């Protein structure tokens, strides 16, 4: 008769998914504000970050409560992974806030005449985040493993955009402050992709009981367990 | 399911053990290696055969006239069921502590600890006194009773009585100590003392403990075996069994979905 | 709630309580009556002579039941020698060994024997010992009382041993102690008080038996010097005196009955003393 416990675990899952959708929305809106120079949208993103922070507090609280009931095996992994995913999502929210701040600053000044692949990079980061969360919901560690190499592509794109901006700044010194803002926004997107990768690693641990963090040359396959 | 067939650090090697009560098989074809000087926990829902399995190790199931066993158990290489071996000899090498503490009511603390030695012919007072102090120290009871060794054993509290029973079992210097839910009748403080005791005893003894308390198995054991309906479902290091078991039945039991 | 119901229940309550009280008094009353009569009639006849002298011939006043008292003890001693080992060991067998079918038959036989009228026992031993020996004897008296004790002691011993929790046997066997040693040193030692109680109560029971002694010990007006001679016993002497027409003998019969009752009473009190709870087990 562990119904209370199962209910607690389900509540934890739901909270995490709600927090995730807030984080995804924040990233979406902050990139939109950046690209469309929407000052008001950028302000809203900054305010909404408080909601995401509050979620982290609530999830940590729920995790501690569940730990007092001494969960084991897959329940134990779920509880500890939920805590880590919520941390990652909170950072994603923070990065979205940073992007929104840069969007506000950039919207006050005339646009820079430069073609950046930033929307594509944002799309990739957002896709990674969505895939990681889907893998969590669908209990699909194989899909989670597939996310991890995509981080390299995002890193490469980030580097590319940085070089373009650096060259532009050298050629047009009057655009330096605006270009730096773009660089920071870009860096935030790269970090969001990192956090999505972290979430994917946690999902693999949850469903395969394998810790694949910090290992070079990750394989695509892993053993199956009950969960 | 066996960890290492040629495990030279195995205290007990069990192969194909089945125990029948009349027609009913309480233990079905179990094979397992119990590592020496380590604590192995046996978990499972009630009626899964874990106590029957434990009692087959020191031939205590023979007390039941309907009981019958098949298979083989070796203690450090010696076949304990061979025709030339008496159950009395086996039980001097494999001791047992029971769920309900049972110090002999007509004897004092000292007499209880030494009963196994005295009734097996040991008369030397010096040896008896030394062995008593040694066993009571190992059972973490010496300081509490050293000034009243002649007090009746039943004047001790429940937790102390159980530690006395452990000292009594240790006094005959067995190689293996079997414990059948030793702390289930005790309060949490006394239980914690018994668990600390078990962990400290494994330096010198091989311990097999049956418990229905998974937290206890997680806290006190190195290896865990999960029994279900008389079969050994999974056996491995305790951490693995409780964080990422390989078998679905184990996962379901450990997360409380049944049992 | 309604007044009539309430008072009817109260009345029933009071009625049952009174009924139970009356029954309790009815149970105790005969004992008190017996005591009263014995003391009233027999107390005055109890003196030193009563315990030490032989009965005097008819007509002479005085004398005592010395030989009867000694005779009772001699018979009880023999009964104990026969009844205790066989009874206790039989009880040990029933409790600790034996298959279920055999045990059932033995218990059945013991229960039947416990119900056999004591006079029948007397006749049987008459045929077995008195006739071949061509005479009544103290030995035959001791044998019949001993045989009566056996099924009694066997059953009480078995019951008391069964009360010893199985955990103690298991603990002892798990220490590598052999089965017989476990039984003697652990089980019997734990149950000892109960076994002794059973033996004493059986002795108290056979101490008062008269009918079987009529056919075996017969009775004796003099001191008995050999077990092959007839012997006096208190119940026999009381019987002989009571049916006689002499007042003096009647007095002595009362005195004898009182002494016999005191003997049985002191055994029972001794049993109570032995089985008192000396210390409580801590929780």
By Cβ distance, the residue of C168, C174, C177 closest to B60 is C174
A227 touches chain B (CB under 8 A): yes
The predicted model gives A203-215 an average pLDDT of 90
How close A70 comes to chain B (CA, Å)? Answer: 8
Q: Which of residues 197-236 of B touch A (CB under 8 A)?
A: 214-215, 218
> Would you place residue B192 in the very low, low, confident or very high pLDDT band (cuts 50, 70, 90)?
very high
Between A21 and B259, where is the model more confident?
Answer: A21
Beta strands in chain B (DSSP E): 10-21, 24-35, 39-43, 67-75, 78-79, 94-97, 176-180, 206-210, 223-228, 231-237
- Interface A-B: count of C-beta contacts within 8 A: 42
Q: Touch between chain B and chain C (3+ CB pairs, < 8 Å)?
A: yes
Grade residue C224 by pLDDT with cuts at 50, 70 and 90.
confident
C-beta atoms of B102 and C189 within 8 A:
no
| Residue of chain B with shortest Cα separation from A226 | B248
Q: Is B119 on the interface with C (CB under 8 A)?
A: yes
Q: How far is the alpha carbon of C228 from chain B, nearest alpha carbon, in Å?
A: 43
Q: Is A216 part of the contact surface with chain B (CB cutoff 8 Å)?
A: no
If you count residue pairs, one on B and one on C, with CB atoms under 8 Å apart, how many are there? 76
Say how far apart CA C243 and CA B62 lie, in whole Å.
Answer: 63
pLDDT band at residue C14, thresholds of 50, 70 and 90?
very high
**Residue A227 — very low, low, confident or very high, per pLDDT cuts 50/70/90?**
very low
User: Dihedral (C-alpha) B152, B157, B163, B168: value to the nearest 10 degrees?
Assistant: 20
Check C176 against B165: CB less than 8 A apart.
no
Residue C70 has what pLDDT? 87
Decide if pLDDT at B182 tops 90: yes
B95 in reach of chain C (CB within 8 A):
yes
Q: Which chain B residue lies closest to A70 (C-alpha atoms)? A: B215
Q: Is A75 on the interface with B (CB under 8 A)?
A: yes
> Is residue A187 within 8 Å of residue A166, measured between CB atoms?
no
Mean pLDDT of A86-114: 93
**Span B113-159, pLDDT tens digits:** 999 999 988 899 999 999 999 999 999 999 999 999 999 999 999 99
In this predicted structure, the answer to whether residue C81 has a pLDDT above a threshold of 50 is yes
Is the per-residue pLDDT at C211 higher than 80?
yes
Helix runs in B58-202, H state only = 87-93, 109-118, 125-138, 142-145, 158-171, 188-201
B223-228 and B78-79 as β-strands: parallel, antiparallel, unpaired?
Answer: unpaired
Question: pLDDT value at position B1?
Answer: 44
For chain B, say whether A71 makes contact (Cβ under 8 Å): yes
Q: Where is average pLDDT lowest: A183-192, B248-257, C49-58, C194-203? A: C49-58
Confidence of residue B8 (pLDDT cuts 50, 70, 90): low
Q: Which residues of C touch B154 (CB under 8 A)?
A: 279, 281-282
B chain contacts of residue C165, beta-carbon cutoff 8 Å? 102
Could you give the C-alpha distances from A116 to A14, A157, A183, B57, in angstroms and in order?
37, 10, 11, 75
pLDDT per position as a tens digit, B202-213: 999 999 999 999
For residue range C29-43, list pLDDT tens digits in order.
Answer: 998 898 888 888 888
Q: CA C244 to CA C240: how far, in whole Å?
A: 6
Q: State the best of A9, A67, A72 to mutate against chain B, taking most chain B CBs within 10 Å.
A: A72
Closest residue in chain B to residue A225, using alpha carbons only:
B246
CB contact under 8 A, B155 and C168: no
Quick one: which of C182, C170, C279 has its CA closest to B101? C170
Is B117 at the interface with chain C, CB within 8 A? no
Which chain A residue has its CA at the smallest distance from B245's CA?
A73
Strands across the sheet with B39-43, in order?
B94-97, B176-180, B206-210, B39-43, B223-228, B231-237
| C-beta atoms of B155 and C279 within 8 A | yes
Determine how β-strand B10-21 pairs with β-strand B67-75: antiparallel
Residues of B whose CB is below 8 A from C190: 104-106
Banded pLDDT at C59 (limits 50, 70, 90)? low
Question: What percentage of chain C carries pLDDT values higher than 90?
Answer: 48
Mean pLDDT value of segment C176-203:
92
Nearest to C173 among B63, B89, B172 (CB): B63
Chain B residues near residue A227 by CB distance under 8 angstroms? 251
Judge whether B172 and B120 are in contact, CB under 8 Å.
yes
Report the residue of chain B nearest C166, measured CA to CA: B102
Subunits next to B (3 or more Cβ pairs <8 Å) are A, C
Q: A124-153 burial by CB neighbour count: b if 16+ within 10 A, else e? A: bbbebbbbbbebbeeebbebbbebbebbee
Mutate to test the interface with B, among C160, C171, C178 (most CBs of B within 10 A): C171
Residue B170 main-chain phi, psi, to 5 deg = -75, -25
Mean pLDDT of A66-87: 93
- Output the average pLDDT for chain C: 87
CB-based contact B243 A75, cutoff 8 Å: no
Q: What pLDDT is stored for residue B2 in this prediction?
A: 47
> Given this model, what pLDDT does residue B90 score?
95
Report the Cα C63 to chain-centroid distance in Å: 28
Q: Minimal Cα–Cα distance from B52 to chain A, Å?
A: 26
Contacting partners of chain A (3+ CB pairs under 8 A): B
pLDDT tens digits, A37-65: 999 999 999 999 999 999 999 999 999 99
Task: Give the distance from CA A226 to its chain's centroid.
Answer: 28
State the DSSP string of C8-33.
HHHHHHHHHHHHHHHHHHHHHHHHHH
Closest in A2, A77, A227 to B256, CB measured: A2
CA distance C154 to C118: 18
Q: Which chains touch C (3 or more CB pairs under 8 A)?
A: B
Q: In what order do the strands lie in the sheet with B78-79?
A: B24-35, B10-21, B67-75, B78-79
CA of A78 vs chain B CAs: smallest distance (Å): 11
Considering only alpha carbons, which residue of chain C is nearest residue B167?
Answer: C175
- Residue B245 to chain C, least CA–CA distance (Å): 34
B105 and C176 within 8 Å at the Cβ level: the answer is no
Residue of B nearest to A224 (CA): B246
Q: What is the ipTM of this complex?
A: 0.91
Of A47, A81, A51, which Cα lies nearest the Cα of A63?
Answer: A81
Q: A226 and B251 in contact by Cβ < 8 A?
A: yes
Q: Could you tell me which chain B residue has the CA closest to the CA of C100? A: B65
Average pLDDT, chain A: 90
Confidence grade of residue B6 (pLDDT, cut at 50, 70, 90): very low
Backbone angles phi, psi at A72, to 5 degrees: -130, 165
**Cβ–Cβ contact B239 with A under 8 A:** no
Residue C3: which pLDDT band, with cuts at 50, 70 and 90? low
């Amino acid at each position: 008769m562990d119904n209370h416990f199962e209910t607690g675990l389900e509540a934890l899952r739901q909270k995490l998914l709600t927090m995730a959708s807030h984080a995804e929305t924040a990233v979406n809106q902050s990139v939109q504000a950046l690209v469309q120079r929407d000052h008001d949208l950028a302000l809203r993103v900054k305010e909404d970050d408080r909601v995401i922070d509050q979620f982290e507090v609530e999830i940590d609280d729920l995790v501690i409560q569940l730990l007092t009931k001494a969960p084991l095996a897959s329940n134990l992994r779920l509880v500890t992974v939920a805590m880590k995913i919520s941390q990652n999502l909170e950072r994603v929210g923070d990065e979205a806030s940073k992007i929104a701040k840069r969007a506000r600053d950039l919207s006050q000044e005339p646009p820079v005449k430069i073609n950046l692949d930033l929307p594509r990079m944002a799309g990739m980061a957002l896709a990674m985040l969505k895939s990681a969360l889907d893998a969590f919901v669908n209990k699909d560690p194989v899909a989670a493993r597939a996310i991890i190499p995509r981080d390299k592509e995002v890193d490469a794109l980030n580097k590319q955009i940085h070089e373009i901006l650096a060259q532009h700044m050298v050629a047009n010194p009057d655009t330096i402050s605006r270009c730096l803002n773009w660089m920071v926004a870009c860096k935030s997107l790269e970090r969001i992709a990192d956090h999505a990768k972290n979430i994917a690693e946690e999902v693999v641990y949850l469903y395969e009981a394998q810790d694949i963090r910090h290992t070079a040359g990750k394989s695509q396959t892993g053993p199956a367990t009950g969960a | 399911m066996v960890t290492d067939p040629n495990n030279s650090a195995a205290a007990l090697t069990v192969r194909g053990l089945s125990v029948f009560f009349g027609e009913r098989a309480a233990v079905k074809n179990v094979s397992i290696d119990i590592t020496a000087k380590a604590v192995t926990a046996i978990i499972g829902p009630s009626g899964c055969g874990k106590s029957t399995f434990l009692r087959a190790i020191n031939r205590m199931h023979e007390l039941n006239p309907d009981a019958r066993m098949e298979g083989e158990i070796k203690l450090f290489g010696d076949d304990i069921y061979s025709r030339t071996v008496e159950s009395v000899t086996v039980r001097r090498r494999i001791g047992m502590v029971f769920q309900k503490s049972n110090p002999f009511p007509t004897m004092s603390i000292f007499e209880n600890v030494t009963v196994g030695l005295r009734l097996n012919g040991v008369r030397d007072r010096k040896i008896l006194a030394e062995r008593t102090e040694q066993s009571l120290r190992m059972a973490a009871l010496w300081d509490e009773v050293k000034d009243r060794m002649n007090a009746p054993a039943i004047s001790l509290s429940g937790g102390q009585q159980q530690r006395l029973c452990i000292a009594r079992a240790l006094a005959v210097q067995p190689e293996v100590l079997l414990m059948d839910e030793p702390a289930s009748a005790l309060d949490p403080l006394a239980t914690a003392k018994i668990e600390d005791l078990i962990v400290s005893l494994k330096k010198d003894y091989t311990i097999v403990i049956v418990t229905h308390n998974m937290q206890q198995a997680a806290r006190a054991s190195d290896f865990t075996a999960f029994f279900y309906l008389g079969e050994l479902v999974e056996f491995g290091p305790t951490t693995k069994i409780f964080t990422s078991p390989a078998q679905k039945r184990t996962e379901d039991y450990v997360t409380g979905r049944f049992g | 709630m309604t007044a009539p119901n309430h008072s009817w229940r109260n009345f029933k309550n009071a009625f049952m309580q009174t009924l139970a009280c009356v029954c309790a008094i009815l149970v105790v009353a005969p004992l008190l009556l017996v005591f009263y009569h014995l003391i009233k009639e027999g107390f005055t006849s109890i003196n030193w002579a009563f315990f030490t002298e032989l009965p005097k011939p008819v007509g002479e006043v005085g004398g005592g039941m010395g030989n009867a008292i000694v005779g009772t003890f001699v018979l009880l001693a023999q009964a104990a020698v026969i009844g205790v080992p066989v009874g206790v060991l039989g009880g040990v067998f029933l409790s600790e060994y034996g298959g279920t079918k055999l045990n059932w038959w033995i218990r059945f036989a013991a229960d039947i024997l416990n119900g056999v009228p004591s006079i029948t026992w007397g006749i049987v031993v008459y045929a077995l010992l008195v006739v071949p020996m061509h005479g009544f004897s103290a030995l035959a008296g001791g044998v019949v009382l001993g045989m009566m004790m056996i099924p009694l002691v066997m059953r009480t011993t078995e019951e008391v041993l069964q009360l010893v929790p199985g955990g103690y046997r298991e603990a002892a066997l798990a220490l590598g102690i052999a089965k017989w040693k476990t039984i003697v040193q652990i089980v019997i030692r734990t149950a000892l008080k109960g076994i002794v109680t059973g033996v004493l109560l059986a002795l108290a029971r056979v101490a008062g038996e008269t009918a079987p002694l009529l056919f075996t010990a017969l009775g004796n007006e003099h001191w008995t010097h050999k077990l092959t001679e007839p012997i006096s016993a208190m119940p026999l002497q009381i019987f002989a005196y009571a049916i006689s027409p002499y007042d003096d003998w009647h007095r002595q019969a009362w005195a004898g009955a009182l002494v016999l009752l005191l003997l049985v009473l002191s055994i029972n009190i001794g049993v109570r003393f032995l089985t008192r709870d000396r210390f409580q087990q801590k929780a």
